[in-house]
Structure 1
């Protein structure tokens, strides 16, 4: 008859089983993340080294897709378009958000919560709805041109989204309207956490509103500025739905962005390898921007 195991070993076994079960549950989110994010990322990098139409056989081309993306004048122009969108999607909303936060924090009035909610509303609206609304506003017979005609400014009316000069700034103003409320609410929340003793000390030293803003408010919003810059810049780099619904990258290629170029390369002119290369370059660029902003914001 076999000898039963010692009592200590019988007590230790359930603990080991519980530990392995806990490790299994902890590894489950990592497995899902790897399946949903890491595997497609690795496949995209792999596809970027091949010439493939998505159906037939693929052919190894090395770095040719990356060279094409960087040397093609049409695709290279998307970088200049993104720089313009960064000014509208990031720099202008952040400047307006800082100004609004400074004014609202100095002159607190009843109903400010409603005011902040109204400006934050674009953040909870879908991009498709926003694009359709502004497409109607910018139409030749839309409210914007009708308002200009009512003011006797017929010379200023134009097909805003069909004009080679004004199409990109018109899209940029939509981005400003969308991201301004987010920046304002973020900066107001950050300014509310700044100790009032710092403002009192600045006033004792004779600081006016402008000097008080640059000496106390702006340094206190370093973390919020880093978040706003990271999110708004990457949003401008990834802009697709707003451009696609309103202009499809036109007129011509005047509003073409990397995301729209990626979509056209992948689905309209089946060049999956080129599309993957565009996605990899933009992903690396977004990562580098986020790292640089984080490192700069963490400096003393």
Structure 2
């Protein structure tokens, strides 16, 4: 048009919505880039998940003929007292694997906030992160020696006059699970501290200055400046540590093997035992699916909390 009216596409709307040659090429290019990653994800995640769902409906020893049982394996998982106790052990480990590392990580990050650029901050971060780079098998073996009847823990208790408290910690029905929890807390403390220290550097220093000018004490700075500023980092720490607690395997396998009795048995180790020692592949698969659902239920509120508020 020449009278000032903007030009419009006279084609029908359905035709305008059809992809052009350039947009089709861009879409195909994007698909080609995504295809390798999606293929790997499908082969190593989706396919095993679908197979586990299928196996969980069978009564099968892994070799002979399988028999379809429907939801019977899930009923067993949700009603068997031993299996429920094993799931409870995993949730109890959350207290050690999550609460202790996150709280101590917050305390350490707040304490070294003003010294992170110096030698003290560098040394502190290095020492705290060291357990994260040690193989979990090695950590489990080392702590097994320390918790032994003649280990370092009992030697230290004897040295300070608490010989009555000495015991074989990993073989004690009351203290074995807390001892395993302490190992996990020690391993995860460095990761949580590094994430929180990194997150604290993103907080604008002027917020702390403004808080101090308003008469805020250190506790108020921590509550009203540090905690809100670390919302996403805390969410990541809690997510990682909760998954580590609920899906724990290697530390428990090395330190106690699930004993004494089933006091330290966790779902990950029980799945391995059911599938390969007792050849109950269907029950093991059902427990694995239940564990996956519990992990999703546990971390979904955390992810919701960690979302950045608009």
Normalised to the residue count of structure 1, the TM-score between the two structures is 0.90
1:75 to 51, 75, 83: 83
Query: What's the counterpart of residue 73 of structure 2?
Result: 65
* Deviation by residue 1:190-223 (Cα, 9 ceiling, x = unmatched): 1111001111111111101000110100000000
Residues 259 and 208 from structure 1, CA distance in 2 versus in 1: closer, same or farther, beyond 3 angstroms?
same
2:41 to 14, 33, 37: 33
- Write the distance in 2 (CA, Å) between the matches of 1:124 and 1:40: 29
- Write the distance in 1 (CA, Å) between the matches of 2:286 and 2:52: 8
Residues 152 and 203 from structure 1, CA distance in 2 versus in 1: closer, same or farther, beyond 3 angstroms?
closer
Residues 155 and 299 from structure 1, CA distance in 2 versus in 1: closer, same or farther, beyond 3 angstroms?
same
Query: What's the counterpart of residue 56 of structure 2?
Result: 48
Summarize the alignment of residues 1-300 of structure 1 with structure 2, pairs less than 5 Å apart: 23-106=31-114, 109-298=118-307, 300=309
Secondary structure at the counterpart of residue 207 of structure 1: coil
Question: Can you give the 5+ residue segments of structure 1 that lack an aligned partner in the other structure?
Answer: 1-12
- Write the distance in 2 (CA, Å) between the matches of 1:21 and 1:299: 32
Comparing 210-219 with 149-158, greater Cα deviation is found at: 149-158
Give the Å deviation of 1:299. Answer: 6.4
Question: Can you give the 5+ residue segments of structure 2 that lack an aligned partner in the other structure?
Answer: 1-20
- Write the distance in 1 (CA, Å) between the matches of 2:158 and 2:106: 34
Residues 42 and 179 from structure 1, CA distance in 2 versus in 1: closer, same or farther, beyond 3 angstroms?
same
Give the Å deviation of 1:97. Answer: 0.6
Comparing 266-275 with 16-25, greater Cα deviation is found at: 16-25
Comparing 241-250 with 290-299, greater Cα deviation is found at: 290-299
Give the Å deviation of 1:25. Answer: 5.0
Comparing 282-291 with 29-38, greater Cα deviation is found at: 282-291
- Write the distance in 1 (CA, Å) between the matches of 2:125 and 2:284: 40
Comparing 32-41 with 226-235, greater Cα deviation is found at: 32-41
Normalised to the residue count of structure 2, the TM-score between the two structures is 0.87
Residues 166 and 211 from structure 1, CA distance in 2 versus in 1: closer, same or farther, beyond 3 angstroms?
same
Q: Are the aligned partners of 2:232 and 2:308 in contact in 1 as well (CA < 8 Å)?
A: no
Say how many residue pairs are matched. 287
